[in-house]
């Protein structure tokens, strides 16, 4: 199981340190559950120092596909690695819809992350309109294919996939576990045998009330948590639920 917390653009440095401190106090003995948190870029160094002994990993919420140079405002994968990151979110729906990320730019970022040894978490998912038109599987498969064409099946399978229906992100309306499971099964089939060990996470309005029902589904290997990861007690409760499995 893997539980990831996406802090998005929330909090000041002192809030990030406070939250990291609270998480670092979790009891990790015998825990097989991996925990990764994604603070804003500016807070990564401080957070990473605080949580390193608590077996909590840290990641970037985005990265550049480019290595270095005249790219004002961008952060490279190597820079993320350098400040203690092990993971990076790629193609989060907010990046795709609010910041114009295309299938090609997402695929290039995924490749850049793999290149330096960061584990990319590829976010895929359909809009409400696509969901209502019954196009969920088609959309998700297209998003996976775009990355597969760039990094190959082996490359795709060496990262992590997060299924995040857009209509569920930040709405309080999580998918039904059976709905999510059916998409996860499609993702798993697309990955085939090289993807037998690839983690496929669910994200979208997870909390301590609905996470367990999601985590027990056969093809759901954990969660990507947004809003609920900003409250330490709630996030720790979700981690505890994953630890039961
Ligand atoms: C997310 O942004 O990745 C997310 C899942 O958000 P929330 O849990 O708030 O729906």
Length of the chain: 245
Q: Which domain holds residue 153?
A: 2-243
Tell me: the pLDDT tens digits for 158-195?
A: 999 999 999 999 999 999 999 999 999 999 999 999 99
Bridge partners (DSSP) listed for residue 6: 38
Structural domains in the chain (count):
1
C-beta 108 within 6 A of ligand 1: no
**Is 43 designated active site?**
no
pLDDT of 31 reads 83
C-beta 203 within 6 A of ligand 1: yes
DSSP state of 167: G
pLDDT above 80 for 48 = yes
Per the listing, tokens 């695929």 go with: 107
Instruction: Report the nearest-CA residue for atom 4 of ligand 1.
Output: 226
**Is 131 designated active site?**
no
Report the C-alpha gap between 159 and 114 in whole angstroms: 8
Extract the tokens encoding 119: 């584990």
State in Å: Cα 24 to ligand 1 middle: 22
pLDDT above 80 for 29 = no
> How much is the mean pLDDT over the chain?
97
State in Å: Cα 172 to ligand 1 middle: 9
Mutate to test the pocket of ligand 1, among 225, 231, 238 (most ligand atoms within 8 A of CB): 225
What is the reported pTM? 0.97
Extract the tokens encoding 159: 């990262």
Check which CATH number belongs to the domain holding 207 and give it: 3.20.20.70
pLDDT above 80 for 27 = no
Per the listing, tokens 């690839």 go with: 198
Instruction: Report the nearest-CA residue for atom 3 of ligand 1.
Output: 226
pLDDT above 90 for 32 = no
Helix residue ranges, H only, 12-163 = 13-24, 44-51, 77-82, 93-98, 103-116, 128-132, 136-157
Tell me: the pLDDT tens digits for 216-227?
A: 999 999 999 999
pLDDT above 80 for 12 = yes
Chain centroid to Cα 135, Å, comes to: 22
**Residue 236 belongs to what H/E stretch?**
helix 232-243
Q: Any idea which of 30-34, 44-48, 143-147, 179-183 has the lowest mean pLDDT?
A: 30-34
C-beta 210 within 6 A of ligand 1: no
Extract the tokens encoding 48: 């990473």
pLDDT above 80 for 30 = no
- The 10 Å Cβ neighbour count of residue 49 is 15
pLDDT above 80 for 28 = no
pLDDT above 90 for 149 = yes
Bridge partners (DSSP) listed for residue 123: 162
Chain centroid to Cα 45, Å, comes to: 19
**Residue 201 belongs to what H/E stretch?**
strand 200-203
pLDDT of 26 reads 82
Cα 133 to Cα 129, 144, 170, 241: the distances in Å are: 6, 20, 21, 34
C-beta 170 within 6 A of ligand 1: yes
């Amino acid at each position: 199981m893997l539980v990831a917390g996406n802090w998005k653009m929330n909090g000041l440095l002192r809030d990030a340190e406070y939250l990291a401190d609270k998480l670092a106090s979790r009891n990790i003995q015998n825990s097989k559950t991996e925990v990764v948190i994604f603070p804003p870029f500016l807070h990564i160094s401080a957070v990473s120092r605080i949580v390193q002994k608590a077996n909590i990993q840290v990641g970037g919420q985005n990265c550049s596909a480019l290595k270095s140079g005249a790219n004002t405002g961008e952060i490279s994968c190597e820079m993320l690695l350098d400040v203690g990151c092990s993971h990076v979110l790629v193609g989060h729906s907010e990046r795709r819809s609010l910041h114009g990320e295309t299938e090609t730019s997402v695929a290039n970022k995924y490749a850049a992350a793999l290149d330096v040894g960061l584990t990319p978490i590829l976010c895929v998912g359909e809009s409400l309109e696509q969901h209502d038109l019954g196009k969920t599987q088609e959309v998700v498969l297209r998003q996976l294919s775009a990355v597969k064409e760039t990094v190959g099946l082996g490359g795709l399978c060496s990262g992590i996939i997060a299924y995040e229906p857009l209509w569920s992100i930040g709405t309080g309306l999580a998918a039904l576990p059976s709905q999510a499971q059916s998409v996860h099964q499609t993702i798993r089939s697309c990955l085939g045998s090289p993807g037998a060990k690839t983690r496929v996470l669910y994200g979208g309005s997870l909390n301590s009330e609905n996470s367990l029902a999601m985590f027990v589904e056969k093809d759901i290997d954990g969660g990507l948590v947004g809003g609920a990861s900003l409250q330490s007690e709630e996030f720790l409760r979700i981690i505890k639920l994953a630890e039961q499995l």
